[in-house]
Structure 1
Amino acid sequence: MGVEIKVDGLTKSFGKQVIWRDVTLTIPAGEVSVMLGPSGTGKSVFLKSLIGLIKPEQGSILIEGTDIASCPERELYEIRKLFGVLFQDGAMFGSMNLFDNVAFPLREHTKKSESEVRNIVMEKMDLVGLVGAEDKLPGEISGGMRKRAGLARALVLDPEILLIDEPDSGLDPVRTSFINQLFIDLNAQIDATFLIVTHDINSTRTVPDNIGLLYHKHLAMFGPREMLLSSEEPVVRQFLNAQTVGPIGMSEEKDADELEAEKDLEMPPLPPIPLQLEPSSGIPRRHQRPPGEWCKENGVTPPPGSFESTTAGAIGA
């Protein structure tokens, strides 16, 4: 079972540079959430704050009643046992084979026997499709395999929260699709809380239950996938649909001249909301919502063609 993460009034600066201020959101237990934002908006800093590697100047991060932004180091150590983290490049030890890399947290943080360690490691490597590669060194495998090995290592302590930093970085579209499917399948199996930082818009439109957008030193919006994909808020609409018309420019914000030049331009129509990725088993995840449910509940008419599949017509349109 995943656990809820409740963030309230979080503010982080480095010297005089404010990264973001007053970030408030609740990441629902057991669901898959994605955090987006233009480069340099502090998405990775946000992940590091959630696990207590970086301390905010203000605000709280409540996990099972403990505020990890202010708790003693001993309590933080215990709370961190709830987490698994997949870093951008997998963060493998280059001199260790994949088996020993994946086994490292078990040997470091538990007193399990080597036979128990082997059973757990092979179970997790099977989950990510790496059985047979356990004797390879990280330098002998592809970037996609290193990501999967990093994911297996993040899973060995059976975390209730998985933090995943730009899993698509350096991957081609096909391998990005494979790792997206893997996340959905894992969520269906282990029911952990997933928070994924990504720049990949296609992944954002099809994978998560919830989406957040950091922009201009604040959280622009966080909520169910359909809420953001149907949003008319200019920043959200522009970023999630990869459009040039809107307030975001090459240097995060457009200047006054750029905004004046496009003031009479209409934003392109919202594209259809795609169907959410489903588990390979065909059995819906426990927290997965039916297509169009949020739109119906909130009286929102989705863009034409939303929720269409090859075998069915539009649902909720």
Structure 2
Amino acid sequence: MGVDVQVTNLTKQFGKQLIWKGVTLTLPAGEISVMLGPSGTGKSVFLKALIGLIKPDEGSIVIEGTDIASCSEKELYEIRKLFGVLFQDGAMFGSMNLYDNVAFPLREHTKKSESEIRDIVMEKMDMVGLLGAEMKLPGEISGGMRKRAGLARALVLDPEILLIDEPDSGLDPVRTSFINQLFVDLNAQIDATFLIVTHDIHSVRVVPDQIGLLYHKHLAMYGPREMLLSSDEPVVRQFLNAQTIGPIGMSEEKDADQLAAEKDMDLPPLPPIPLQMEPSNGIPRRAQRPAGEWCRLNGVTPPPGSFTREAEHASGHQS
């Protein structure tokens, strides 16, 4: 079962360059959260801070009562055992076959016998659909297979928190859909806390329980999927619906003249909120909520046509 991650007033800068300031959120235990934002807003830096590779200048990151922003190296080493990480490119050792790549954390961090290691490695490779490919080298397989192998390696220590950096990078839409389904199925199976960094808007609209948006050196919004997909907050609405009208420009922010020119322009309507992706076995995840529940509980009228198969299909064509 996953654990929650409580982030409070997190601030980081490199020299005079402020990355983000005052980031506060809680990744709920066992839920799938997604973090997105324009390029260069510090999403990968945020992941590195969560696992203690980068120390924030201010704030705290509390996991099971330990603040990893200020704890000792020994405490950090223990907390890191709760994490699994899927790097953007898979980060496989090119000279090792997939079996040895996946077995590497077990050989480094446990005293298990080779027989026990084999059982675990084969179980995890089966979970990600790679049985039969264990003797292949990373250079002999597709990008999608390398990501799945990286995911198997991230799973071998049975993590309670899984950090995933741009899993759709370099994948075509079909493979992206397959890996999204794999994340949902794995969350249902292992009940870990997931945080996915992505730019893929379709994935953001159908996969997570929670969505966060980093923009202009702060956390613009973080909360339930339905809250952000029905939001009229300008930067959230613009980014999640891939619109040109709004504060985000080609580089970062639009200038005052551009914003003034858009002031009287009619915004396109919000698209329908699609159904959330479900586990392939049809059994709901622990964190899964009935479609439209957040909107009903908060008195929000969702866009027309929301929570239908047609909306799900339309969302797939939008990205």
Superposed CA deviations along residues 144-180 of structure 1, whole A, max 9, x for unmatched, are: 0000000000000000000000000000000000000
Counterpart for residue 305 of structure 1: 305
The equivalent of 1:68 in structure 2 is 68
1:56 equivalent in structure 2: 56
SS at match of 2:309: coil
Q: Counterpart in 2 of 1:116?
A: 116
Read off the aligned partner of 2:224 and give its amino acid letter.
P
C-alpha deviations, 1:79-137, integer Å up to 9, x for none? 00000000000000000000000000000000000000000000000000000000000
Distance 2:48 2:252 in 1: 22
Q: CA deviation at 1:251?
A: 1.3
Alignment partner of 2:246: what SS? coil
Q: Give the Å deviation of 1:309.
A: 2.3
Q: Name the amino acid aligned to 2:298.
A: N
Letter in 1 for 2:231: S
Deviations 1:35-88 (A, max 9, x none): 000000000000000000000000000000000001000000000000000000
Determine if the alignment matches structure 1 residue 131 to structure 2 residue 125. Answer: no
- TM-superposed CA distance for 1:15, in Å, is 0.2
Counterpart of 2:19 in structure 1 is: 19
Which residue in the other structure is 2:177 paired with?
177
Aligned to 2:314: none
* Alignment size in residue pairs: 312
Which blocks of at least 5 consecutive residues in structure 1 are unaligned?
A: 311-317
Secondary structure of 1:252 counterpart:
coil
Identity of aligned residues (%): 85
**How big is the shift at 1:252?**
1.4
Measure the CA separation in 2 of the matches of 1:309 and 1:257. Answer: 41
Aligned pairs for 1:1-317 within 5 A: 1-309=1-309
* Counterpart Cα distance in 2 of 1:262 and 1:15: 36
* Alpha-carbon distance between aligned partners in 1 of 2:238 and 2:109, rounded to the nearest angstrom: 45
TM-score (norm 1): 0.97
**In structure 1, what is the Cα distance between the partners aligned to 2:215 and 2:119?**
44
Question: What amino acid sits opposite 2:260 in the alignment?
Answer: E
What is the CA–CA distance in structure 2 between the aligned matches of 1:17 and 1:55, rounded to whole Å?
15
SS in structure 1 of the partner of residue 212 of structure 2: strand
Instruction: State the SS of the aligned residue for 1:118.
Output: helix
SS at match of 1:248: coil
The Cα offsets for residues 231-278 of structure 1, whole Å up to 9 and x where unpaired, read as 010000000000000000011110111111211112111000000000
What's the secondary structure of 1:253's corresponding residue?
coil
Following TM superposition, where does structure 1 have runs of at least 4 consecutive aligned residues deviating by more than 3 angstroms? Answer: none
Measured in 2, the distance between the counterparts of 1:8 and 1:266 equals 37
Give the whole-Å Cα distance in 1 for the aligned partners of 2:39 and 2:20.
13
Structure 2 unaligned spans of 5+: 311-319
How far apart are 1:206 and its partner, in Å?
Answer: 0.1
Tell me the residue number matched to 1:313.
Answer: none
Distance 1:287 1:94 in 2: 37
Deviation at 1:211, TM superposition (A): 0.1
Partners of 2:32 and 2:308 in 1: CA distance: 22
| Partner Cα separation in structure 2 for residue 303 and residue 17 of structure 1 | 39
